[in-house]
Amino acid sequence: MRGRELRGELDAFLAENEQDLVAFRRDLHRHPELAFAEYRTTQRIAERLTAAGLVPSVLPRGTGLICDVGSGDGPTIALRADIDALPLQDEKDVSYRSTDHGACHACGHDVHTTILLGTSVFLAQQAAAGLLPGRVRLIFQPAEELPGGALEVMAHGGISGVDRIFGLHCDPRVDVGQIGLKSGPITSACDKLSIRVKGPGGHTARPHLTADLVFALAKILTELPAALSRRVDPRSSLSLVWGKVEAGTAANAIPDDGLAEGTVRCLDENAWHAAPDLIKALLESVAGAYGVEATMDYTRGVPPVVNDESSVDMFAEAAERALGPGSVVPTQQSLGGEDFAWYLESIPGAFARLGTRTPGGTTYDIHQGTFDVDEQAIGMGVRLMAATALTSLWDSPIPTLDQITNALT
């Protein structure tokens, strides 16, 4: 079964199941759950997978699950959806508005979850009909927003034995029916930096007898971003921006303690890996020049999502097959972060942007209480993910007997 037949099968599957999938999404939307608290969501997904004849395995914390479809012969492809909501209030006036004032599916993870559920049921039917030439691992990942859920999945063997992984995210700036694709980096790294400066303190009349801590802190605030812009390749767009500064209590007293906090964003993976050591060295040299002691607390966020070119090609081929010609549009690297990046540090794969805007309709933004999608995106997402899994299995070389024997020994 290829191309045209797949499209027909997807049409038939969605004619029967699309309404039910929309209802499933609305139920999740009414009952959003925050990172690592997605117990109800996990239960709902597990019930549906079990009803489709699959055997889901819930992660040890009780949130998120993994489930394999198909036999162990041939390659293994993973499809990932994130299932958590955000800690903000739903501001929409719709029948499926969140019933929890402190949580809202404002990043579209309810849509991602529903798409993967629909894809799972379709692939289970394909496997039962003997049409799945390999194995598909379904990853319903908790806690993307924390972030950390991807690491939790990986710590429990979620991608061991997986050859390639695919994921998608709602994009409210792209019309429904279109898919945004890009090879190479597609999201950015975002880390948090906190710097504490200490000195002896003293009277502002005698800065030469102590260490002028406020002056030194001001130098750190301006010199670090300036020096970084000259030490790092400008194409990596590494930017350090301060969001919080504190020091002192009186106009005529030099304080003994100060604090600066900010974020480090970066488009390039190599520059991201090098950033903490470089910032620490710059900090020590500036602080040392003014006789103050500076310590740094660098909290890693996520690396950029770096799409593998051949996996992007598979996404594009699948989109042409399942959504028709002209469905793929170019997309740009965003300054947002996405923990799918952790998987792609270990195995090849790609992350796509799924159009969710009604053509001619409102352009929403994610992480806003007003965010919503054109629910036709659910069917589009099922078409895309099912076709991508099959395309990837069809295109992956079948392992030789030697490779299978080596893998077993």
Give me the helix-helix angle, 109-128 and 3-30, nearest 10°: 140
Report d(CA 29, CA 101) in Å as an integer: 12
CB of 3 to Zn ion, least distance (A): 31
CB of 22 to Zn ion, least distance (A): 20
Report d(CA 194, CA 245) in Å as an integer: 10
**Residue 17 or 41 with smaller CB distance to Zn ion:** 41
Both structure tokens of 350: 């790609």
CB of 231 to Zn ion, least distance (A): 31
**Residue 172 or 202 with smaller CB distance to Zn ion:** 172
**Residue 232 or 366 with smaller CB distance to Zn ion:** 366
**Residue 106 or 213 with smaller CB distance to Zn ion:** 106
Torsion angle (degrees, nearest 10) of CA 299, 305, 306, 308? 140
CB of 30 to Zn ion, least distance (A): 19
335 within 8 A of 304, measured Cβ to Cβ? no
118 within 8 A of 48, measured Cβ to Cβ? no
**Residue 184 or 336 with smaller CB distance to Zn ion:** 336
Q: Which of 372, 401, 406, 405 is nearest to 176 (CA)?
A: 372
147 within 8 A of 190, measured Cβ to Cβ? no
CB of 161 to Zn ion, least distance (A): 26
CB of 337 to Zn ion, least distance (A): 9
**Residue 49 or 107 with smaller CB distance to Zn ion:** 107
Both structure tokens of 166: 């695919």
376 within 8 A of 177, measured Cβ to Cβ? yes
- DSSP 3-state of 9: helix
Nearest position to Zn ion, beta carbon:
107
CB of 237 to Zn ion, least distance (A): 21
**Residue 100 or 293 with smaller CB distance to Zn ion:** 100
Sign of dihedral through CA atoms 141, 142, 148, 152?
Answer: negative
Give residue for tokens 């900090």: 283
CB of 144 to Zn ion, least distance (A): 6
**Residue 107 or 389 with smaller CB distance to Zn ion:** 107
Write out the DSSP string of 246-284: EE-SSTTEE-SEEEEEEEEEES-HHHHHHHHHHHHHHHH
CB of 338 to Zn ion, least distance (A): 7
Distant-in-sequence, close-in-space partners of 17: CB < 8 Å, separation ≥ 6: 118, 121
**Residue 238 or 302 with smaller CB distance to Zn ion:** 302
First to last CA, the chain: 34
Residue ranges binding Zn ion (CB under 5 A): 107
**Residue 107 or 385 with smaller CB distance to Zn ion:** 107
Neighbouring-strand partners of residue 265:
190, 239
Both structure tokens of 21: 């999938």
CB of 169 to Zn ion, least distance (A): 6
Report d(CA 303, CA 79) in Å as an integer: 20
Report d(CA 171, CA 364) in Å as an integer: 9
